Structure 1
Amino acid sequence: MKTRVFLRIFGTLLKLMGVLLLVPGAVAAFYREPTGVVAFFLTSIATLLAALACERLGVAEEMGTKEGLALVAFGWLGAAFFGALPYVFCGMGLVDALFESMSGFTTTGASILTESNAQGYWIINQTLADVSLASYLAQAADRSLTAAEGMLLNSTLLQSIHNATVGTPGLPIAGGGAIGLNATLGLAGRMALPEEPTYFGLLFWRSFSQWLGGMGIILLFIAILPKLGVAGRQLYKAEVPGPDKDALTPRIRQTAELLWWIYLLLSTAQVVLLVGAGMPLYDALCNMFAAMATGGFSPQAASIAAYKSALIDGIIVLFMFLAGANFALHYKTLYEDRTALIKDAEFRFYALIILLSTALIMIWGGLSGGILERFRYAIFQVVSVITTTGFFTADFDQWTPAARFVLILLMFVGACAGSTGGAIKVVRLLMVIKYGHRELLRALHPKIVSTVKLGSTPVRDDVLYPSIIFFALYILIFAVATLLLGAVSAGDPGMSMEALISAVATTLGNVGPGLGQVGPTLSFSEVHPAGKMLLFLCMWIGRLEIITPLVLLLPEFWKK
């Protein structure tokens, strides 16, 4: 690999990143959050300085295949690293910040942040409303808080100032020291803790990073950077998910532009509908970022359940479903053939899996209520998981084992090729099934000549066999990662087998919450730090669809 050629183009990518970091900084300024403004300003400066250094060290030559693969692989790592700095500047530990950032850019939606008490970044009013301040602080003081938790708890309580101010003892912080709290008692010495997030800018960044990663920050790079030439095609093939890398147009930059325009069009439509349904604009933007990217980071700790609206649930389901379909088909449906989606074999199989899974969960899930209510919760969770979004409207960890098993299977299936979703992809599963059927026929009739087809279109061998290899590698990496996570979590009695399996499945497939200790109402905060870094790698490998990260391990890759 030509390192200096790579550094030059990598520096240009970091410049784009540095500019984009100003957007959440502006949000923090709008909400008068000085900590957030400083955090994003410092991160933007650091990113731009790193970009300048890379460009100075690099040389302006055309990229080859190796440099293109390296840019995609290290581009995502660079985005995750610099995207983690705002979390660090706001008090989060580096490992947790890297996990949260990678989860954002890879559209995974697995979070370190907790929802059950005020030691996280936000608060659920239903759980903590009208709590005695003295009682609450006594509970909080039962354990040592991290520096970030203490700072955020302090900030949260300060937001609740209504009447007289009362000094409280400092809470112990892990690593030594204490944070003194000045909090306020409301009427009768009681207070209602705020439901809104403490850091609007930071929560906006979580969702915005998912939106950038959804269609792909490298694809955005291709769309706005002129004259990439052959290198642009290499980047496109390494970045776009799915087995078939054919472009919409002969010009890769034009294809990238078209895909981003469709992405913007659907994003705008979703925001308009959500606001029309009664969702606040800030929440509508954050939830749109997460839904279109199939990411799952919501500004509300209770996810979409917080809004308690069947209409909002329906809008979110629709756009998760569309985001999980092939965006090239959206283009063809809009501009070429209105029936393009229906004619597509993968899309039909995708819709069939959703309908069957919804029916099974309605029957086996143990859901309460009438048929419409059960359908509402079942289809939301099925679409959320198969598209690898990760939103939730119910605690599906409390459903029956059969229903949870259906959801685990959907974590492996994933969305369609060419979508913003992750995991194996519906088209690969369909090809593996058809290939298996063909081999069974050959065992029965050795002389038969049979071709694997998707609909009426024969599948080329250069598409079929890599898909089968991908399927095998995916299962192998899942098994190895689960074994390693089990090894580093050996001392944690709360990490059940179900939690281990779902933690790896959900991060490798870029899905979001898992089951058990990493379920929808909990978080990944209690996972061992080594386990968090393992899952960090799983998210990266899953987003880049395995092959690109594995290529970096070949000695031949690093030779000039």
Structure 2
Amino acid sequence: MNSSIIRYILGNVMRMEACFLLLPCIVSLVYGEGVGLYYLGTAIVCLAFGVVMAWKKPKNYVFYLKEGCIATSLSWIVMSLVGCMPFWISGEIPSFTDAMFETVSGFTTTGASILTNVEALSHTALFWRSFTHWIGGMGVLVFLLAIIPLSGGSNINLMRAESPGPSVGKLVPKMKYTARILYIIYFGMTILEFIFLIIGKMPVFDSICTAVGTAGTGGFGVKNDSLGSYSPYLQWVVAIFMILFGVNFNAYYYIIYRHFKKAFKMEEVRCYFAIILIATAIIFANILDHCVSIFDALTKSVFQVASLITSTGFSSTDFNLWPQICRTVLVLIMFIGACAGSTGGGIKVSRVIVLFKTMIKELHSYIHPKSIRKVNLDGKPVEHEIVRSINVYIVTFVIIFASSVFMVAFDGKDLVTNFTAVLTTINNMGPGLAEVGPAGNFSNFSVFSKFVFMFDMLAGRLELFPLLILFHPSAWKDLISKRAEARKF
């Protein structure tokens, strides 16, 4: 295993996070909050460690998927450990476990919180917890590739380990240009949403936090009622951008370069919008009696469907009080999630499409045993390797999901709470139902359960396997054997 490249990547990640930590320091200066000193101190220590780790460049820049997965997983763990320090040492979140939970939830764009009074936090802390969504939305290693391109031609292994979806490809021949294009689109859409929010007279600070939270499909708000107290115009702006950030970014690339046919032929995107329309129609029809007007019902149904299918987690109302059919629809779209190649979470629409078509193919083979039929997506056959990986992903997802529900059950909470708490963390959603609904939070769970949820959040954001590989003995076998040989000499 090429441990030197892993060390080098971790060093660069720490240096980047140190730079990101300077932004809340600026917010602290603007609002005259002394808490910014804790962020500055953390940034200095983080920068020092990063410089030391990245000082010696690796002799060999070639690394394989194993190294890519390990580097990615360790990067997200280190980011979370460093990112939670200002919350903890400042005393704004006194418990280390809670500070870590909040930070992991931020970076993984989950939006699940242990805070009972968000508005009690300083502007500095509110900005940092929202900005972690923006960092984690597109992926810190994608950002690393965009500004510090690694040589050696193995960058695709970092993208594969961090980017959501069953398969990751290049938009342009060089990986660094693909990363830059993705971040240009990401940054541009964030700025565009910020402008629309300002037009709607949302305060500048609220607009920044909401825009970066929407872009990362995270869901941390600056108000205790999330976005419930804002005007319908602002809720529609956020809802539309949540939906847009849940679209496969390849579609935006095609549109920018005027490949309109390719963009509109993307089966996953068309299915994604169809699911949104159907779910919205069902919920709208069932909450009319619970709303003051047709427009109010439409606003709330569109907003919550957009929020949960994209795994953003903002709320405009307590949907935990809606009819059973509405809550059932919301749980189903939580499982499905957004498109692959977006900032959204969930199983992903493309996987659901391939699974459905695989099922049809198998049924057809029962009727016509001698027929040869392939699974197609966007008019092209899906490789057997991708179908196999999707099947393995679903099996692994079910195993982790069931194990997590069992482990948190020892807290003695009801099944709906436990089930949706695990669902919302592993799919990076944010709110669930019952005790973890929009009006609740995760503060009443035990320390053990919170660590289970943190594992689920990281596993869900990294598509399960990059994190699981850390627990596989053979992943570290080469490193252990090399150290053993070094000791002999």
**TM-score w.r.t. length of structure 2:** 0.94
**Bigger radius of gyration, 1 or 2?**
1
Indicate the residue corresponding to 2:377 in structure 1: 454
CA distance in 1, matches of 2:265, 2:68: 34
Alignment pair present for 1:438 and 2:440: no
- Shift of the alpha carbon at 1:341? 3.5
Residues 118 and 224 in structure 2, CA contact (< 8 A), matched pair in contact too: no
CA distance in 2, matches of 1:310, 1:45: 42
* Residue among 228, 243, 259 paired with 2:182: 259
Indicate the residue corresponding to 2:443 in structure 1: 525
State how 1:358-369 maps to structure 2 within 5 Å: 358-365=280-287, 367-369=290-292
Residues 7 and 58 in structure 1, CA contact (< 8 A), matched pair in contact too: no
- Shift of the alpha carbon at 1:451? 1.3
Helix, strand or coil: the match of 2:227?
helix
The superposition leaves residues 457-506 of structure 1 with CA deviations (integer Å, 9 ceiling, x where unpaired) of 2211122221121122112211111111112x13xxxx221110110000
**For residue 394 of structure 1, what is the amino acid of its counterpart?**
T
- Shift of the alpha carbon at 1:556? 1.8
Indicate the residue corresponding to 1:178 in structure 2: none
Indicate the residue corresponding to 2:234 in structure 1: 312
- What are the ranges of 5 or more consecutive residues in structure 2 without an aligned counterpart? 479-489
Alignment pair present for 1:82 and 2:79: no
- Shift of the alpha carbon at 1:340? 3.8
* Residue among 197, 214, 220 paired with 1:297: 220
Residues 47 and 82 in structure 1, CA contact (< 8 A), matched pair in contact too: yes
Helix, strand or coil: the match of 2:228?
helix
Alignment pair present for 1:38 and 2:37: yes
**For residue 11 of structure 1, what is the amino acid of its counterpart?**
G
Alignment pair present for 1:334 and 2:256: yes
CA distance in 1, matches of 2:82, 2:251: 34
Deviates more, 1:543-552 or 1:422-431: 543-552
The superposition leaves residues 163-204 of structure 1 with CA deviations (integer Å, 9 ceiling, x where unpaired) of xxxxxxxxxxxxxxxxxxxxxxxxxxxxxxxxxx54001100
Structure scoring higher RCO (CA < 8 A, sep ≥ 6) equals: 2
**For residue 339 of structure 2, what is the amino acid of its counterpart?**
C
CA distance in 2, matches of 1:540, 1:267: 24
Indicate the residue corresponding to 1:110 in structure 2: 112
Deviates more, 1:56-65 or 1:323-332: 56-65
State how 1:468-479 maps to structure 2 within 5 Å: 468-479=391-402
- Structure-2 change in CA distance of 1:463 and 1:443 (3 Å): same
CA distance in 1, matches of 2:374, 2:60: 43
CA distance in 2, matches of 1:321, 1:396: 19
**Percent of counterpart pairs with the same letter?**
34
Residues 514 and 520 in structure 1, CA contact (< 8 A), matched pair in contact too: yes
**For residue 424 of structure 1, what is the amino acid of its counterpart?**
I
- Shift of the alpha carbon at 1:287? 0.3
**For residue 104 of structure 1, what is the amino acid of its counterpart?**
G
- Shift of the alpha carbon at 1:57? 7.8
Give runs of ≥4 in structure 1 deviating > 4 Å.
56-60
Deviates more, 1:94-103 or 1:44-53: 44-53
Higher helix share: 2
Deviates more, 1:100-109 or 1:5-14: 5-14
Residues 6 and 63 in structure 1, CA contact (< 8 A), matched pair in contact too: no
- Shift of the alpha carbon at 1:392? 0.6
**For residue 11 of structure 2, what is the amino acid of its counterpart?**
G
* Residue among 288, 302, 314 paired with 1:391: 314
Residues 6 and 70 in structure 1, CA contact (< 8 A), matched pair in contact too: yes
Indicate the residue corresponding to 2:244 in structure 1: 322
Indicate the residue corresponding to 1:246 in structure 2: 169
- Shift of the alpha carbon at 1:11? 1.1
Helix, strand or coil: the match of 1:527?
coil
**For residue 519 of structure 1, what is the amino acid of its counterpart?**
G
CA distance in 1, matches of 2:409, 2:168: 36
CA distance in 1, matches of 2:246, 2:55: 40
The superposition leaves residues 63-115 of structure 1 with CA deviations (integer Å, 9 ceiling, x where unpaired) of 4123322110100001111010111022121000100000000000001111x
State how 1:189-268 maps to structure 2 within 5 Å: 198-268=121-191
**TM-score w.r.t. length of structure 1:** 0.82
CA distance in 1, matches of 2:118, 2:290: 31
CA distance in 2, matches of 1:458, 1:292: 32
CA distance in 1, matches of 2:204, 2:336: 33
Helix, strand or coil: the match of 1:230?
coil
- Shift of the alpha carbon at 1:427? 0.4
Indicate the residue corresponding to 1:133 in structure 2: none
CA distance in 1, matches of 2:274, 2:161: 29
CA distance in 2, matches of 1:234, 1:520: 37
Helix, strand or coil: the match of 2:155?
helix
State how 1:43-122 maps to structure 2 within 5 Å: 43-55=42-54, 59-65=58-64, 66-91=66-91, 92=93, 93-114=95-116, 120-122=117-119
**For residue 113 of structure 1, what is the amino acid of its counterpart?**
L
